[in-house]
Amino acid sequence: MTAQTIPVDPFELIVFGGTGDLSYRKLLPALFHRDCAGQIVGPSRILAVSRRDMSAEAFRNATRDAIERFVAAEDRTPEAVEHFLNRVCYTAVDGTGEAGWGELKEKLSGGGEFVRAFYLAVNPELFGPICANIGRHGLMNAETRVVIEKPIGKDFETAQAVNAAVGAVFDEHQIYRIDHYLGKETVQNLMALRFANALFEPLWNAAHIDHVQITVAENIGVEGRGGYYDTAGALRDMVQNHILQLLCLVAMEAPMSMDADAVRDEKLKVLKALVPITGDNMERMTVRGQYAAGASAGGAVPAYQDELDGDSSATETFVALKAEIANWRWAGVPFYLRTGKRLADRVSEIVVAFHPIPHSIFGSGAGSIAANHLVIRLQPDEGVKLWLMIKDPGPGGMRLKQVPLDMSFAQAFDSRNPDAYERLLMDVIRGNPTLFMRRDEVDAAWQWVDPILEAWKAGGEAPKSYTAGTWGPSASVALIERDGRTWHEESR
């Protein structure tokens, strides 16, 4: 099977922070792939903006270097690179001051009523000032959108301040709060599995599902992001956005349609139904850890605090949570969430564990019968596995074995799997906000996370140490095993 590519209308994409790591590593390569696929047409342009004094030719050369570095050789040709570079230009602009805004406005004046999208790949503290300048200098047209990256605040109060600053210039329907996890093929296939098939939805409830696990594990450390990470930690950096969004897609009721607000209304209901975690239940519902020195990728790696030049820190690099949803569909079904850095492997997956069969008709010689699991793998090797019990082939009686029905996207589709940013950027241009967070979703997520942060602070306990290259502190194993369950790892 091959994927269908539908071109988007001509657009102007203005990337503030256009010379930053996100631009070179993700945004420009994603746009290059869409240009190669014929999805970007006509006079569409990408305007990179930053304070740096750089000529247009120097930026094109930097863009060429980024494409050669982050796009596989088989996915690019010299002709395709030159074609894309003709769409790219650069302007030096002081986002919070006055310099350069006149030149930017002049470059945009020929765009007519093209879709005009501003991507703020900058520190969130700059969102408000940049948006204010966009409005003050008259850079908006009838088809203007703005894209903002996480983190949106450090808690509910600061998130409200960020959203208020952006909302003072842009209407809510113009604001696209991006979470790249929602652009992954497997995440969207979760929606297709649930709502385009008759197989799973009748079983998608507490009567048939024992528990759900969501794991987002990284085998790298803070990788030069220590300054940011030490002010955030795993709960803010991963749980408040990525993992809670995945939980919503697993747990939400069927929306009336794929209309953006219909989908986001159902996600919001899940967030509001989460049982609060406070000082009263914190110890049995949460585990926080911080990695010590260990081994990863075949070599020794330092402790988190050594990566901060030895500064003392109580920031968690690992968190495991037991979340509960107080509604009819999910009452009594725990959602076990975990994420961390310097873990044993790089993997992101959702595991839906069904109840075991109530009675085995097979004798003891057949072996034990494992419960069915649906494993939705986000990275690496995106795909879906349904673990079933079958008869082990051959004579000699009934012997049962657990095997997966395995659908790898790389094998099922004879085309490259687009990066999440490719899909999300094109959705911005189309004006489709389904895969982006609405303001009330951000608020509800922080309202659940804030009491956890407050309980940790009030408790005063340091994060539990774990050796780099393992699966986190032993307390995270106890979190799930005291319920008679275990973390799912056999599919790796």
Active site residues: 242
Q: What is the 3-state secondary structure (H, E, C) of the chain?
A: CCCCCCCCCCEEEEEECCCCHHHHHHHHHHHHHHHHCCCCCCCCEEEEEECCCCCHHHHHHHHHHHHHHHCCHHHCCHHHHHHHHCCEEEEECCCCCCCCHHHHHHHHHHHCCCEEEEEECCCHHHHHHHHHHHHHCCCCCCCEEEEECCCCCCCHHHHHHHHHHHHCCCCHHHEEECCHHHHCHHHHHHHHHHHCCCCCHHHCCCCCEEEEEEEEECCCCCCCCHHHHHHHHHHHHHHHHHHHHHHHHHHCCCCCCCCHHHHHHHHHHHHHHECCCCCCCHHHHEEEEEEECEEECCEEECCHHHHCCCCCCCCCCEEEEEECECCCCCCCCCEEEEEECCECCCEEEEEEEECCCCCCCCCHHHCCCCCCEEEEEEECCCEEEEEEEEECCCCCCCCEEEEEEEEEHHHHCCCCCCCHHHHHHHHHHHCCCCCCECHHHHHHHHHHHHHHHHHHHHHCCCCEEEECCECCCHHHHHHHHCCCCCCCCCCC
CB-based contacts of 106, cutoff 8 Å, min separation 6: none
* Cα separation, 283 vs 288, whole angstroms: 10
User: Residue 280 corresponds to which tokens in the numbers above?
Assistant: 């009263």
